A and B are shown apart, each in its own frame.
Chain A
Amino acid sequence: LAKTTQPISMDSYEGQEVNITCSHNNIATNDYITWYQQFPSQGPRFIIQGYKTKVTNEVASLFIPADRKSSTLSLPRVSLSDTAVYYCLVGAWMDSSYKLIFGSGTRLLVRP
């Protein structure tokens, strides 16, 4: 049974690096691991996606170990506008059906 686990909340200060880890077991072998950001009353917004090792784009890095049972989203030098809920998203096969599973979300609060 596939399941994802994230910390419920995290606090940080402007300019710090924030790392959010998602644990996910039994994910689909050939699927990406994707992270989204969500602000209140808005749909989730794509941040970054990876299959394994490390991926970096202009806003974040994603670290995925070889066993792919977890992933860590790294936000360098956060600002107040990064206060939001962050979700990991994985795909898994369960009950002979493909399912997309969001994590429970990590509420990040960035303080001045």
Chain B
Amino acid sequence: ETGVTQSPTHLIKTRGQQVTLRCSSQSGHNTVSWYQQALGQGPQFIFQYYREEENGRGNFPPRFSGLQFPNYSSELNVNALELDDSALYLCASSLDHDRGNTEAFFGQGTRLTVV
């Protein structure tokens, strides 16, 4: 049990729709990162937020956007869903003083299926 909670656990959406995934960080953690993990692949970095500001972004189009709230919980929004967006979406929280790859605690993920 990492203390990082993601909701929902599973979701089915139709191509073209929009989706919002949520993540509650471990208490006291001020940094959250989001990843997309396709079946059989390693996690792909989407973006990272540090104290409500985006401070790192992977190679994902602008239709992937995010927010971090004052309590450090976070949302991942994906617009205009495509079939290839079907994947496990993971969030990870950590306590970073600045940009950095420090010990992160992952949630169980949200399994998104786009049909």
- Does B bind A? yes
Number of A-B contacts (CB under 8 A): 74
Residue pair B48, A46 in contact (C-beta under 8 Å): no
**Hey, which chain B residues are within 8 Å of A81, CB to CB?**
none
Taking CB atoms and an 8 Å cut-off, the chain A residues in 33-72 that contact chain B are: 33-34, 36, 41-46, 49
| Residues B100 and A30 in contact, CB atoms below 8 Å apart | yes
**Known contacts A31-B101, A46-B103, A49-B102; is-contact A102 B42 (Cβ 8 Å):** yes
Say whether, besides A43-B92, A87-B42, A105-B42, A98 and B106 are in contact (CB < 8 Å): no
For residue B55, CB closer than 8 A to chain A, the reply is: yes
Q: Which residues of B contact A103 (CB under 8 A)?
A: 42
Chain A residues numbered 1-52 whose CB sits less than 8 Å from any CB in chain B: 28, 30-34, 36, 41-46, 49
CB-based contact A43/B2 at 8 Å:
yes
> Which of A33, A44, A91, A104 has the most chain B CB atoms inside 10 A of its CB?
A44
Output the nearest chain A residue to B99 by Cβ-Cβ distance.
A98
A77 interface hit (Cβ, 8 Å): no
